[in-house]
Each structure stands twice: as structure tokens, then as C-alpha cells.
Amino acid sequence: MPRTLLVFLALSLGCAHRADGGTAGTTGAASASTPSAAIPVPPDLRRPSADARTTPSGLTTKVLRPGAGRAHPGPKSRVTVHYVGWTVDGTQIDSTFARSAPATFPLDAVIPGWTEGLQLMVVGEARRLWIPEHLAYKGKSGAPAGTLVFDVVLLGIE
């Protein structure tokens, strides 16, 4: 994917500063070419905006940019995504933008909120997911606690 498109996607998603305006920690060296280096945390991080929708399981989602595809991944599909994730206090917990490389993984190998949320998406779509703890790490020691928020761009489905 061309770097200019990655920068556009990162800018449209709002990727890497804490809610208090400070820079969140990222993996790898930051540089002027790292898309997440200058992007604020979304203003609706702590509380979903009025146009967000909640599923029966408690997952809340909001389409940030519609996709062009028609197919949705299934629960066992492999997907390629770009994403950034935060805790609700604005601490960035992970970002493929910071690593300058998308991630590919099977949906049956991730937290339940990701499995459910990605199945709602089509290729090219950008979506924000508010994942409650019971659909995330469920209090697992060493994992982020509480509600997690991810901005995800679905790049491909296998």
C-alpha cells in the first residue's frame, strides 16, 4: 500500500496521542514518516458518539469511512488490517501504523470483540470499535483492562 494512502488512512482515523494531548508510547522508532506520530486520540474515545451502534453482545461500532467491497469476513476468515488501539484513558496500546506494516490473522484467533466487529466490515471500510472487557481480555493478567477502543481499516479477506 503506498505510504501516502497509509498517511491518509492514519489521518482519517486519528491515531496516536493520548486524550490529554501527550504522545502515547508506540513500538519502534518514531520518525516524520510514521503516520501515527502526529495524530490525536478520537474525541469520542471515552463515550461513543450518538451515531455509533451497539450490538446485542455489547460491542459498539461506528463506520468512519464506508468500504467499496460487498463481502464480509466470516468467523474463521483471515483478514489483513491496519489498526490502532487505545484504553479509554487515551493510552495507545498497539498500532500497525506505528510499525508501518498491516497485520494478517485469522478471526478465530483474536479477542471476541474483534471477531464480531470485523465481520460487520467490508474491504476498504474504516470502523471504530468500542470493545467492553467481557469481549476483550476478560481481566487476563498482563493484558489491557477495561473497555478498549480500536480504529480498524479492513484491507483484505482470505
Give the pLDDT band of residue 69 (cuts 50, 70, 90): confident
* Cβ pair 75, 119 in contact under 8 A: yes
Higher pLDDT, 108 or 24: 108
- Which residues fall within 8 angstroms of residue 8, CB to CB, at 6 or more apart? none
Q: Which CATH number fits domain 3-157: 3.40.50.920, 3.40.50.2300, 3.30.70.1350, 3.10.50.40?
A: 3.10.50.40
Mean pLDDT computed over every residue of the chain: 81
Confidence at residue 39, expressed as pLDDT on a 0 to 100 scale: 54
pLDDT tens by residue, 15-44: 333 333 333 333 332 333 334 453 579 999
Q: For residue 52, what are the contacts with CB-CB under 8 A and spacing of at least 6?
A: 44, 60, 61, 62, 128, 130
Domain locations in the chain as residue ranges: 3-157
**Residue predicted with more confidence, 33 or 106:** 106
Task: Return the pLDDT at 11.
Answer: 37
